[in-house]
């Protein structure tokens, strides 16, 4: 059974720091991996989607990498800002299009000014 | 970006009441999902649908039921709410690759 783990569970950094959030999954047979942001009491906002054949995706200050063979993904946030404070969730889609996502518990990020 | 809507956003209801959480999407997606999320915990799939008249139970046991009569609408119903149903419920829809989520319904059963 696929399991997704995110480390660390919580992270506090001063504004301006570059940081890395980690995600690991137990079954490398995935269709894609998606990173989300969740603000308190809100739904999920999609940040980046990496297909199984891709190694990385970039959007603005965010860069996500995927190493499918080792079951790992990282989300790199450059020059962090207080507005980046949120919970970041990693989710994998098993090896069929349209199947439901399997989520980690998330990393709660706090960026202080 | 996402055109997926959940109502109500917040609901406080007494034990034993019947409730329906609404979810609608305007993207024409065939696949829709309901997840349950407790504070600090991961999202757990409770129901999904791959199209009209198709519904399946997810990994997490749930006393709720769903229906899919129209492509755009995927309501979740609790016949008799209990305090153990207090949680956040998130609806999602998907094309083949990317999933889109609604803002969620935070349900409190007193």
Q: What pLDDT does A98 receive?
A: 67
Do the chains contact at A106 and B42, CB–CB below 8 Å?
yes
Residues contacting B77, CB < 8 A, separation 6+? B18, B19, B20, B21, B64, B65, B66, B67
- Sign for the CA dihedral angle at B29, B34, B38, B41 comes to negative
Residues of B in contact with A89 (CB under 8 A): 42-43
Do the chains contact at B101 and A43, CB–CB below 8 Å?
yes
Does the beta carbon of B99 lie under 8 angstroms from any beta carbon of chain A?
yes
Q: Which of A8, A51, A98, A107 to mutate to test the interface with B (most CBs of B within 10 A)?
A: A98
Residue B31 CB neighbour total at 10 angstroms: 20
Q: What pLDDT does B2 receive?
A: 59
Nearest CA among A66, A70, A88 for reference residue A19: A88
Residue A41 corresponds to which tokens in the numbers above? 């009491």
Q: What pLDDT does A42 receive?
A: 85
Does the beta carbon of A55 lie under 8 angstroms from any beta carbon of chain B?
no
Q: What pLDDT does A55 receive?
A: 96
| Arithmetic mean of pLDDT, A50-57 | 95
Is it the case that residue A74 has pLDDT exceeding 60?
yes
Nearest CA among B6, B104, A19, B33 for reference residue A11: A19
| Arithmetic mean of pLDDT, A44-48 | 95
- Predicted confidence pLDDT, tens digits, chain B (110 residues): 558 999 999 999 999 999 999 999 999 999 999 999 998 888 999 999 999 999 999 988 778 999 999 999 999 999 999 999 999 999 999 987 889 999 999 999 99
Residue of B nearest to A31 (CA): B97
Does the beta carbon of B53 lie under 8 angstroms from any beta carbon of chain A?
no
Do the chains contact at B97 and A49, CB–CB below 8 Å?
yes
Q: Which of A100, A104, A105, A108 to mutate to test the interface with B (most CBs of B within 10 A)?
A: A100
Q: What pLDDT does A51 receive?
A: 93
| Percent of chain A surpassing pLDDT 90 | 89
For residue range B37-46, what is the model confidence (pLDDT) as tens digits?
998 888 999 9
Burial grade of B105 (CB within 10 A; 0-12, 13-18, 19 or more):
buried
B90 CA to chain A: closest CA distance, Å?
Answer: 7
Query: Does the N-terminal peptide bond of residue A8 adopt cis geometry, omega within 30 degrees of 0?
Result: yes
Output the CA–CA distances (angstroms, integers) from residue B15 to A58, A59, B66, B107, in the order listed. 47, 45, 20, 12
Q: Which of residues 60-99 of A touch B (CB under 8 A)?
A: 89, 91, 93, 97-98
């Amino acid at each position: 059974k696929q399991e997704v783990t995110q480390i660390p569970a919580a992270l506090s950094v001063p504004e301006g720091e570059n940081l890395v959030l980690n995600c690991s999954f137990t079954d490398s047979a995935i269709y894609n991996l998606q990173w989300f942001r969740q603000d308190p009491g809100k739904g999920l906002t999609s940040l980046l989607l990496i297909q199984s054949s891709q190694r990385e995706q970039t959007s603005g200050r965010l860069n996500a990498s995927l190493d499918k063979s080792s079951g790992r993904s990282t989300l790199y946030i450059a020059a962090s800002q207080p507005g980046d404070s949120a919970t970041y969730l990693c989710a994998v889609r098993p090896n069929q299009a349209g199947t439901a996502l399997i989520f980690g518990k998330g990393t709660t990020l706090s960026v202080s000014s | 970006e996402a055109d997926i809507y959940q109502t109500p956003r917040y609901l406080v209801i007494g034990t034993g009441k019947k409730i329906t959480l609404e979810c609608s999407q305007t993207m024409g997606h065939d696949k829709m999902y309901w997840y349950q999320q407790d504070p600090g915990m991961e999202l757990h799939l409770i129901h999904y649908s791959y199209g009209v008249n198709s519904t399946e139970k997810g990994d997490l046991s749930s006393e709720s039921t769903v229906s899919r009569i129209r492509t755009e609408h995927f309501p979740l119903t609790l016949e008799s709410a209990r305090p153990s149903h207090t949680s956040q419920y998130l609806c999602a829809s998907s094309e083949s690759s990317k999933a889109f989520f609604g803002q969620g319904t935070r349900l409190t059963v007193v």
